[in-house]
Amino acid sequence: MLNVLFVCSQNKLRSPTAEQVFADWPGVATASAGINHDAQVPVSPELLEWAGLILVMEPRHRNKLSSKFKPYLRDKRVVCLNIPDDFEFMAPELIELLHRRVPSYLPQ
């Protein structure tokens, strides 16, 4: 089982959408969190230890992860999906973009 953590800023729109969209993907367990301290579910050392793959929405999320949680990112694959903060929760355009960018990182 591959544990996949989706990360955005607030954990309100993009990462929770991704978590739901890929929740039923075979061989994958999903979770989501936000990099900001006031996120709905903030990134934590425990979530990073749980994750086998971390998918961030923007380069700044990867940079913030590296600066705040560097010791917990050893041997972790962190991939930037380059998905801007232009979408509402479960927006069809966001789901379509996730379907184009995420599956290549998941078990087939």
**88-108 pLDDT, tens digit each:** 999 999 999 999 999 999 998
Of the candidates 5, 6, 4, 17, the one whose C-alpha atom is nearest the C-alpha of residue 88 is 17
Residue 74, SS3 per DSSP: coil
Domain ranges of the chain: 2-105
pLDDT of residue 42: 98
Q: What is the pLDDT of residue 63?
A: 97
Q: pLDDT of 10-64, one tens digit each?
A: 999 999 999 999 999 999 999 999 999 999 999 999 999 999 999 999 999 999 9
Tell if the pTM clears 0.75, that is, is over it.
Answer: yes
Among the CATH numbers 3.40.50.410, 3.40.50.300, 3.40.920.10, 3.40.50.2300, which is that of 2-105? 3.40.50.2300
Relative orientation angle of helices 14-21 and 92-101, to the nearest 10 degrees:
70
